[in-house]
Amino acid sequence: GGMSGIWDEVVDNLVLFRDGVSFAATWHMVFMVALTCLATLMCAKGILDFSFDTSMAIVAVGTIFPLVFSVQASFTRREKALSALGELKGTLFTVYLMFKCWDKGGGGAPAGEE
């Protein structure tokens, strides 16, 4: 019926979720999560109050410069694509005009007027 079909789908989705979590939850992943939580706890103000004095130069070199180069490369690819698209459009229009205005009979009249 209606409700049993819905519950069957819910159970199937829960089983799928459980299988996905059991696939992803390896010992390495559990260790890394525990290590991350421990490191975060150790840096908390109430525990050891670790603080690091970092400069923004690291962020600029590691993040900003690659981002700028990536955006620049994207614009270069976009310009090349637009140039190729314009060339294709011009070529197709030339072919269209060639067939539209072809002088088939040699009398100097366009193709549509003969």
Asked if residue 102 lies in contact with residue 111, where contact means CB atoms within 8 angstroms, the answer is yes
φ and ψ at 63, to 5 degrees? -120, -50
Domain ranges of the chain: 1-53, 58-106
pLDDT tens for residues 31-51? 999 999 998 888 887 777 777
pLDDT of residue 112: 61
Which ranges in the chain belong to alpha helices (H)?
2-24, 27-42, 56-59, 65-100
The list of the chain residues with pLDDT below 70 reads 1-2, 104-106, 108-114
pLDDT of residue 55: 78
